Amino acid sequence: MNLMEQKYDLSGKIVVVTGATSGIGWHSALEFCRCGASVIGVGRNEDRCTHARAKILAQVPEAKIEYLVADLVSQREVRRLAEEIKKALQRQQAPGLDVLVNNAGTFVDRLTLTEDGIEKTVAVNHMAPFLLTQLLLPEMAARPDSRVITISSGSHYHTWLNPKRLRSPLLYNSLWAYKVSKLANVLFSAEFNRRHTGESPRAFAVDPGLVNTNIGFKGTGALARFVWRQRQKAGVDPSIPASTILFVAADPAALQSKAVYWYLSAPRQPSRAASNPQLATAVWQESARLCHLEK
């Protein structure tokens, strides 16, 4: 059966998808709505959120979909978003959160530090998912078989990182910063499962493959846009990785497997660095420190 033809009944489930105004995030939100879930999408721009919601309702008129606005470059905004999500759950009288899809991401072609003093690519792609997951953990722990899905990338292969330089690299290279952030996604997911063995939620990292999205056109220079345009032409439609996200979020087979890293709805072996438990622990500890968490 074609993966996009697989139908799951997610009635009564609550799903949060960050970066849900376009690309993989929007297609994921659409598929969750088609399966009957109540979806909370997150985007940076109110107008784009309104447009994205209207597009989903045009295809699924009965969809239970709302959007929240937050710029995940800021830890202050991530904390505010977590509180807004909790309020949304209360409005829906939901017993908890079933699925968190950490999809929002960025690519920056020059060294930029956030208001928290963290390199922007790592701040959005890794620190925001790390912090949002911790803040929503009680809501997810209240639900059986809940899942945290973080969108990584095959670019994490042949990559290494120094946890002590996670805040900001000694020498900046835009592509390397992106690769480091995606390696951190896999390490975070693996360490999360080690710290919560046998508990709910379960963490997964999804490799979307090369996808036709606009991530490389946002806030980048002419050279970066040119390179991304060439890559974009070879990319698959965002609905393809969205089907993997839906599979990992809904299929019992995903929970039965011990795999952390998934590609095309199947387990995939991550890199040697991503499979290093000592490195995962060190990244977790440094991330917690940079996010001002007690543990």
Supply the residues annotated as catalytic: 178
Instruction: State how far the alpha carbon of 121 is from the alpha carbons of 1, 110, 199, 216, 277, in Å.
Output: 37, 10, 30, 12, 23
CA angle (49 as vertex; 288, 235 as ends), nearest 5? 75
Contacts 24+ apart (CB under 8 A), 56-61: 56/26, 56/29, 56/30, 59/30, 59/34, 60/30, 60/33, 60/34
Q: What pairing do the DSSP bridges indicate for beta strands 266-267 and 261-263?
A: antiparallel
The sign of the torsion formed by the CA atoms of 251, 255, 258, 262 equals positive
